[in-house]
Chains A and B, each alone.
Chain A
Amino acid sequence: MDFQLTKEQEFVRKMVSKFAENEVDPIAADIDKEHRFPEETVEKMAKYHIMGIPFPTEYEGAGGDCLSYAIAVEEIAKKCLSTSTILSAHTSLCTWPIYNFGTDEQKAKYLPDLCSGRKLGAFGLTESGAGTDAAGQQTKAVKDGDEWVINGSKCFITNGGYADIFVVMAMTDKSKGNRGISAFIVEKTDKGFSVGKTEDKMGIHASSTTELLFENMRIPADRLLGEEGKGFKVAMNTLDGGRVGIASQALGLAEGALETTITYMNQRKQFGKKLSQFQYPAFIIADMATRIEAARYLVYYAAWCEDSGVPHMIPAAMAKLYAAETAMFVTTKAVQLHGGYGYIADYPIERMMRDAKITEIYEGTSEVQRLVISSNILNK
């Protein structure tokens, strides 16, 4: 067993860590406060090819691997979960399904813009009545000659207000349940498409979360992604990979929270001693570090499985579940260690705890991960 990263992976960490330190960290608190989507950071990530890491160079990707992508997401999330959410949704939920399920024509048309970051991607599965229960889709797509006519809406869509290209699920045959779902590529300029309400969230304020509305939206027949009726498979496979992205985000957030807490504990003095010199807080740091280490190996293993062609559904579900709960554990404890200062926005830990919660919810709640894991174990 070799726990060594490759040279490239080490350098990806070095590069993205420096980038996050200089470009992401300085504005993280402000964009959270202002609920502002950091367009300038997305542009910079595009410039340095962070927006298309695990895709081949023929599509203007960086030609890297999934573990390198996971490391990049982790490093950005150490400083700002919102920014890592933008990167993760773009890469895992839009570019990846087009790369994996697209026809040669679709790939040639969409991937260069997405991999280079000239255009931003998003993914639309969730509806007000269909979250975990994907088969409850109300959005309908009806074939009309050479076109699909789509009606309905999506909610809680990451990057919704800023994306150019969307992978959207819709029912093409309601009677077939999950087998009646199909995936489509939607462009923001499509007639009948509009962005609805922007959500006001507990955390990740700088990430754009919106409704998508389709009113008699007509798109050409060749926008069908994958086969008709195979949209559920597209969505589930996409989410398997997406979970590695979210797990990396949660891991990075937990690491960032630990780092900032260590700094605080080495400065803050009570009763004439630094906080780090008291055994109780020091032991909490030990627990945080140990859980983070465990999460790291789950996340890296899931990414490695994806790179190696090993089935990664279960590793990804375990990584997402554990890393998200670690992020919540670490940030909650970190706020407690900061005391009153942890509860005010002057210190980053307040934002980090608000941000952490979403990692237990989006792209499959912790309960869904437990469902995936347990059913695989029990139904063997």
Chain B
Amino acid sequence: MALKIVVCAKQVPDTNVIKINPKTGTLIREGVPSILNNDDANALEEALKLKDKYPDTFITVISMGPPQAKDLLIECLAMGADEGILLSDRAVGGSDTWATSNALAAVIRKIGDFDIIFGGRQAIDGDTAQVGPQIAEKLNLPQVTYVQKFELSDDMKTVTVERNMEDGYEVIKLQTPCMLTCIKELNEPRYMSIDKLFGIKPEAIKVWSAADVEVDLNTVGLEASPTNVFRSFTPAPKGKGITVAGDSPKELADNLLIGLKGKHVI
């Protein structure tokens, strides 16, 4: 049985380069390179590792965005994915996470048959971590977020994953089909391969419209979005913390006390 995998990926501005206009609170996107969202690269890499092991695995990368987001799919195919589908339509423009997951769930329904959906934990431009879980809910799939380790059973029916927590991790076993959102600890994404780049067939990248995926237009786009961005800002950098020194626990406690009293905290 050939595995069928869907990877959700987003083209994002490189946040190492991007700045926020302090007056308008909006992102300055001019001249900022677009990149494959970091966690999504980990999602694709995990799918590619399965393809390395089971070569007849078929990987479809899906994305939503303006026509230039096709570049993201070229990158994913050059890394080794088999097919890319971009949902690009004015009707879905300005979607928040709820509306985006409606649209992407419709894309996946249209694809139909799949065993695993991999997505990134969150996109570096919005940092919401909501779209993956929402897709799973809308497709009625079991899901695990923050996946840091992944294993597929030999019969390909169950997966065992580690879910990263602040103070440790959970080991969770779930059945396929399922949705997993990935974090950078999961793997090291590969580079594009030059031969795969030149081998991309035009028909391997499809651009779909809202009509193609039969999505209810009342559930996508800016108008249908229940949330909107009120304001963006660059958080003021925090000052350096103070390290309290001391040779013994008692001296440390004394010094801490002196510091806190000096600042009139206590």
Residues of A near any B CB (own CB < 8 A):
7-8, 11-12, 14-15, 18-19, 47-50, 53, 57, 61-64, 68, 72
Contacts and interface: CB of A to CB of B under 8 A. Distances in A.
A235 to B, nearest CB: 28
A283 B192 CA distance: 38
Enumerate the 3 nearest inter-chain pairs by beta-carbon distance, A residue then B residue, closest first: A49-B195, A62-B194, A62-B195
A62 B198 contact: yes
Contacts of A53: 194
B192 A63 contact: no
Interface in B175-234: 191-199
Contacts, number: 48
Contacts of A18: 191
* Size category, B interface: 10 to 19
A11 B78 contact: yes
Nearest to B33: A14
Given A49-B193, A61-B195, A63-B195, 16 more contacts: A7-B74, A11-B74, A11-B78, A11-B197, A15-B194, A18-B191, A47-B193, A48-B191, A49-B196, A53-B194, A57-B199, A63-B198, A63-B199, A64-B197, A68-B194, A72-B194
A41 to B, nearest CB: 13
A62 B191 CA distance: 15
Nearest to B79: A15
A21 to B, nearest CB: 11
B195 A57 contact: yes
B194 A64 contact: yes
B25 to A, nearest CB: 28
A122 B195 CA distance: 23
21 contacts: A7-B71, A8-B197, A8-B198, A11-B74, A11-B75, A11-B78, A12-B194, A12-B197, A14-B192, A19-B191, A48-B191, A48-B192, A48-B193, A53-B194, A57-B195, A57-B198, A57-B199, A61-B195, A62-B194, A64-B198, A72-B194
Nearest to B35: A14
Nearest to B75: A11
Contacts of A61: 195
Interface centre among B75, B193, B194, B199 (most CB of A within 10 A): B194
B191 A15 contact: yes
A74 to B, nearest CB: 14
Contacts of A72: 194
B38 to A, nearest CB: 13
Contacts of A14: 75, 192
A72 B192 CA distance: 13
B81 to A, nearest CB: 14
Contacts of A8: 197-198
Contacts of A49: 193-196
A7 B75 CA distance: 11
